[in-house]
Amino acid sequence: MLDEIRRPFFLAALAAWLLVLLVEIGAGFLPVPEVSAQELRATITRDQAEGEDPPSDAELQDMIQARREQPPRPGFAISALVAFDGQVLLGLFWMGAGLVISRRLVGRVQGIVSLVVAFLTIIGGIVAAFLLFTLLMVMLGLFLAPPFGTLAYLAIWGFFPRGAAATTLGILLFLKIGGAVLLVLAQQNFVKNKGLVVLLLLSLLLNVIVGFLHGFPPGILVSITDAVAALIVLVVAIVWALLVLISSIVAVIKAIPPERTSS
């Protein structure tokens, strides 16, 4: 099948998924929006219960100072997509490697490299999920502890850059759909590769889930749902990496030549 691939389309698909990965990595550097005392006061007053006193000017300045000293790091879910989409790119890379390297050599190297990458993805995913879960508990604990805990949450995480995140997700969705179309144009038989189709569909689904959890809740809760979305992405990435790890171990074992017995 590889001999029949239209190389320009396939290379364009590979480039599209490489761009996907680069955009997701860059999402970790989304700008933290500046918040004025007036915006902070308006947000807090809107979410306060009746009868509660609004924060004083001194309290607002303390919140702004705390935000500057420890700025929130939004976009966890988009950055977490790297753990899954990196596996998509690796799968496409092995297909492309067969265009320029002997398939026999690719088959030998693929099992070992995929095993190592899957193992690192699982370990890194578990560590990241633990840290995110801890952060999520901190955010929930503060948000559900009025008045001072809620005020502290609003000062640090109450202003998520939803517009920048939506734009980033839109770019990712466009690149992923474009990459999938280019794959079909490169070789129609790719749609018969069930593993590849499931991988691409899962990537698109995760993109949609992150977008939904960013757009559905009120603005002050998006930082919480962003962490939830990141955990969902990491769990899916870990499960897929575990399946790859098992299949890679089997492939490596089969590649080991049997010992010859002396007659």
Say what the pLDDT of residue 261 is: 52
Other CB atoms within 10 A of residue 259 CB? 6
- Residues above pLDDT 70, as percent of the chain: 75
Distance of CA 124 to the CA centre of its chain: 13
Contact 219, 159 (CB under 8 A): yes
Over residues 195-209, the pLDDT tens digits come to 888 999 999 999 999
CA 263/CA 251 separation, integer angstroms:
29
Over residues 59-104, the pLDDT tens digits come to 777 777 766 666 666 579 999 999 999 999 998 888 777 666 666 6
Over residues 147-175, the pLDDT tens digits come to 777 777 877 787 788 888 899 999 999 99
Mean pLDDT of all residues in the chain? Answer: 82
Work out the average pLDDT over 133-151. Answer: 86
pTM of the model: 0.83
Q: Domain ranges in the chain?
A: 2-30+39-45+57-255
